[in-house]
Amino acid sequence: MKRTDGGGRLALAAAGVTVLLWASAFVAIRSAGTSYSPGALALGRLLAGSLVLGAVSLVRREGLPPRAAWPGIAVSGVLWFGVYMAVLNWGEREVDAGTAAMVVNVGPILIALLGARLLGEGLPRGLFAGLGVAFAGAVVVGVSLSGDGHASVLGVLLCLLAAVSYACGVVGQKPALRHASALQVTTFGCLIGAATCLPFAGVLVSEASHAPPAATLNMVYLGVFPTAAAFTTWAFALARTSAGRLGATTYAVPVLVVALSWLFLDEIPRPLTLAGGALCLAGVALSRRPRTPTRLPAAPEHAAEPERLDAPEPEPASALAAASVPGPAPDSALTHVPLSADEPAPAPARTPASAPAPVSGVECGRASEAAFEGALEVASALEVASSPERAAEVASAPEVVD
């Protein structure tokens, strides 16, 4: 469904900020990763992010999230903030960039599948096709950046674990955003992730004492911007769109990584890298294309009414012809008999015209007989009126009671 309201535009802008900051994280990790081990780097990044998010929450007086939001916050905090950041840093040291891109970028596909299964979001064909195209582009970018092409089984398993943790964390975070704000979900998720990585606290203290300031500053940058800011804008966008469609936008990260490396590290991209980036962007655009609604055929203006089963059958032509035979005169015209010749005969009363009702053959015969008897009575009345002797005889005759 196409979002044209202000909330939809803000969600798209928030997703763009997230993707840009996450792309910058790969450039910062290259510097900090030379002085910090994977677990220590993840813990230092989460601690810096927790401090910033906690301070902002206190200023805004966010308070504690509702009880209904805690399961989703806990799932995203442990799996996404904690496990994902640690094992991804570790796995990328064991495999080349192409293998890491191929395995880790399974995450958005898993998000779409889990979102359709657990969140009831559905899996439109455009989204699925866009994920496939973008995934192919991410693999091409990773292969073009690979060096000697080394990969170990441990590194592949770690990257796969990172992809699964990322997908489960996103799907678990979505229901929590129905009950808590994006800042609350991100703040407490980051705190839970930092608690998950506390076993690396001793290593972090030891390595921080020997690390150069540039590496430590990059670790702090990772905590403030790609973690605190980017995860908050991500949660804001996730609360306003589907998990599958938002996950597909992360395929734009490899393209931005190549662009930022070109700008800040003077790494000129190869033609194969540019081709992979074009596939990534095409896949993201395809996945975010709105679904075309199905148009139903318009009903005709004057649709024929269905035939009624209980409609009366048409009468035969003989019955319709018999209906035109006039019936007997009204009773008032027959009961009043004039007693003298001077009194005129009353005119028969008129009855309102009405449509003749269909009659049967028997009723038609009865109607003819009644009409004949009525005519005889009228003739007899005229005879009495014309003869005084006949009128006196009729007047003196006793009344017969039936």
Beta-bridge mates of residue 151: 95
Q: Please state the separation of Cα 275 from the chain's center in Å.
A: 34
Left (φ > 0), alpha (ψ -120 to 50) or beta: where does 270 sit?
Answer: beta
User: Does 144 lie in the same domain as 269?
Assistant: yes
User: 155 near 94, Cβ under 8 Å?
Assistant: yes
User: 11 near 237, Cβ under 8 Å?
Assistant: yes
Would you state the pLDDT for residue 392?
57
Answer whether residue 367 is part of any domain. yes
Question: Is the Cα dihedral 191, 193, 199, 205 positive or negative?
Answer: negative
Closest to 156 in 3D by CA, of 225, 229, 87: 87
Would you state the pLDDT for residue 149?
59
Place of tokens 């220590």: 40
How many structural domains are present in the chain? 2
Would you state the pLDDT for residue 329?
47
Residue type, 169: G
Would you state the pLDDT for residue 261?
82
CA distance 124 to 356: 65
Boundaries of domain holding 108: 6-287
3-state helix, strand and coil shares in percent for the chain, rounded to the nearest 5: 70, 0, 30
User: Does 280 lie in the same domain as 223?
Assistant: yes
Both tokens of 33, joined, read 């990763």
User: Does 217 lie in the same domain as 149?
Assistant: yes
Answer whether residue 299 is part of any domain. no
pTM of this structure: 0.68
User: Does 136 lie in the same domain as 268?
Assistant: yes
Would you state the pLDDT for residue 273?
84
Closest to 257 in 3D by CA, of 136, 86, 101, 40: 101
User: Does 138 lie in the same domain as 177?
Assistant: yes
CA distance 249 to 100: 18
Answer whether residue 391 is part of any domain. yes
User: Does 266 lie in the same domain as 331?
Assistant: no
Answer whether residue 78 is part of any domain. yes
CA distances from 231 to 14, 93, 222 (A): 10, 24, 11
Q: What is the pLDDT along the chain (402 residues), one digit of tens a residue?
A: 444 456 678 999 999 999 999 989 888 888 898 999 999 999 999 999 999 999 999 999 999 999 999 999 999 999 999 999 999 889 888 887 667 777 888 999 999 999 999 999 888 888 889 899 988 988 888 887 776 656 678 888 998 999 999 999 999 999 999 999 999 999 999 999 999 999 999 999 999 999 999 999 999 999 999 999 999 999 999 999 999 999 999 999 888 888 888 888 777 888 888 888 898 889 888 887 776 544 544 444 444 444 444 445 555 544 444 444 444 444 444 444 444 444 455 555 555 444 455 555 555 556 556 655 665 565 566 555 555 555 555 555 555 444
User: Does 228 lie in the same domain as 108?
Assistant: yes
User: 338: buried, middle or exposed (CB in 10 Å: 19+, 13-18, 0-12)?
Assistant: middle
Would you state the pLDDT for residue 312?
52
User: Does 205 lie in the same domain as 127?
Assistant: yes
Answer whether residue 401 is part of any domain. no
Would you state the pLDDT for residue 257?
85
User: Does 207 lie in the same domain as 144?
Assistant: yes
Place of tokens 């770690």: 158
